[in-house]
Amino acid sequence: MSKTPIVEVINFGDELLVGIRENSHLVYLGEQLARYGLPIQRSRVITDEAAEIQRAFLDAWTHSDIVITTGGLGPTADDMTRENIASALGAELVFDPEIEAIIQARFDLLGRTMADHHQRQCYRFVGGEVLHNARGTAPGLAYEKEGKLLIMLPGPTHELTPMFEREALPLLWRLGALSEEEAYLQIRTCGSGESTVEQMMQPIVKAYPSLTVAYCVHYGIVDVRLSSRDGAIGREALKAIGQEARELLGEDFVCFGHCSLAKVVVHELRALERTLAVAESCTGGLLCNAFTNLPGASKVFVGGVVCYSNDVKVAQVGVPESILEQHGAVSAECAIAMASGIAEHLSSDYGVSVTGFAGPDGGDEKNPVGTIHIGYHSPAGVWCKTFRYTGGRLDVKTRAVHAALDWMRRQMRAHKMEEFLSCGEND
């Protein structure tokens, strides 16, 4: 295998070409491989037609060193990918009784009968390897020829992911295609826009000409990836540059790596041994969901109330009716009452609240669509912040959730020492 093999991914599937589904396999494989210094150089999506498969595969095989395919390994008549690629490669397929035994055992376990059409999933390339499928019937296949490598993975995500990690990555390690060190350093920031982050990074960009700096923005989060394309900057040097960047980014720095904002907040809460409750109106469950996506969140997250109607705000969160009458449900005053109210009702140490107009309807002169009030109640006091966003309903909801989480993590960091000191009193 050459020093930096050219990797090409081929995804089979009409549904990727007609707007039914996004190509999440490419994102997943791209992230995994980039992490080990083996970035994907090109990718293509093609239909399941025989001529197309053969032509595209041959082109890929000619111009790349490692070709990874996804999909087309199912038992139905459409799934002729194995056969078409074998034909393009000039390789032979052979029936493998071991594969049949494994598929048979799987059906036995489920108490179902193995249908005839599963027989076609029992073939592998002569001289090739079989990649075990822990979650489905279709095994993956690997085949080496003239210093090139083909890896064929199944289409369903829950089958592809474990197979890639447990079978394909070890194979790539064995062939020496992966780098021991993570190939880039990611810095997650929140609070400033992309151009501001770019400006903050300028001293580093100027100081290290061989450094590649890439930015990626998602709903208020700006990720900065530092890498050295030609390997001129080693891992330790990259880490040191990361620390310099952290200083420059100040409070906008969230973490190195891929931690979600919710995970950072949960981490702080676990360190503080405190609990949290959420009251949300316009974000409608999305903030609670950000916490409950994390395994173990129940240790600090006691629950939340989605108080869409005013009645629920009063009865379940304890917002005084007088506040709703005087200031309305979308107001700083209501956000404050919600944050303190939810902490009291659910007996948590911290309370966070979101109220606003996510659109497309609603809003008034003082609070146009996109206005979001966030309340934050902590043992140290209660505050409110107001944000204004453009974009559609789902954009506004996501940005509001990120803003709430970002504010919490800043406040918790700021108050951490103080709270640790006052722990004895509050406990």
Residue numbers 338-357 binding its own copies by CB under 8 A: 345-347
Using the contact rule CB under 8 A, the part of the chain among 52-60, 201-209, 332-340, 408-416 near its own copies is 52-60
Q: 69, 133, 283, 331: which one contacts its own copies (CB under 8 A)? A: 283
**Separation in Å, CA 196 to CA 87, 252, 395:** 53, 11, 21
State in angstroms the smallest separation of the CB of 225 from its own copies: 7
Q: How many CB atoms lie within 10 A of CB 284?
A: 16
- What does the alpha-carbon distance between residue 198 and residue 160 come to, in Å, rounded to a whole number? 36
254 token code pair: 């969230």
State in angstroms the smallest separation of the CB of 417 from its own copies: 28
Q: 4, 28, 182, 267: which one contacts its own copies (CB under 8 A)? A: 28
Question: With respect to its own copies, which residue has the nearer C-beta, 216 or 237?
Answer: 216
Q: 1, 171, 248, 306: which one contacts its own copies (CB under 8 A)? A: 306
State in angstroms the smallest separation of the CB of 309 from its own copies: 4
Kindly state the DSSP code that residue 166 receives in the 8-state scheme: I
- # residues contacting its own copies (CB under 8 A): 86
Q: How many CB atoms lie within 10 A of CB 366?
A: 10
Question: With respect to its own copies, which residue has the nearer C-beta, 96 or 344?
Answer: 344
For residue 216, state whether it binds its own copies (rule: CB under 8 A).
yes
CB 307 within 8 A of CB 330: no
Cross-strand pairs, 371: 388
Question: With respect to its own copies, which residue has the nearer C-beta, 43 or 228?
Answer: 43
CB 303 within 8 A of CB 350: no
CB 343 within 8 A of CB 351: yes
Task: Give residues with Cβ within 8 angstroms of 271, minimum separation 6.
Answer: 416
Q: 5, 45, 66, 377: which one contacts its own copies (CB under 8 A)? A: 45
Question: With respect to its own copies, which residue has the nearer C-beta, 58 or 248?
Answer: 58
Q: Phi and psi of 53, rounded to 5°? A: -60, -45
For residue 286, state whether it binds its own copies (rule: CB under 8 A).
yes
| C-alpha of 109 from chain center | 33
Question: With respect to its own copies, which residue has the nearer C-beta, 196 or 422?
Answer: 196
- For residues 253 to 272, the per-residue mask of contacts with its own copies, x marking binding by CB under 8 A and - elsewhere, is --------------------
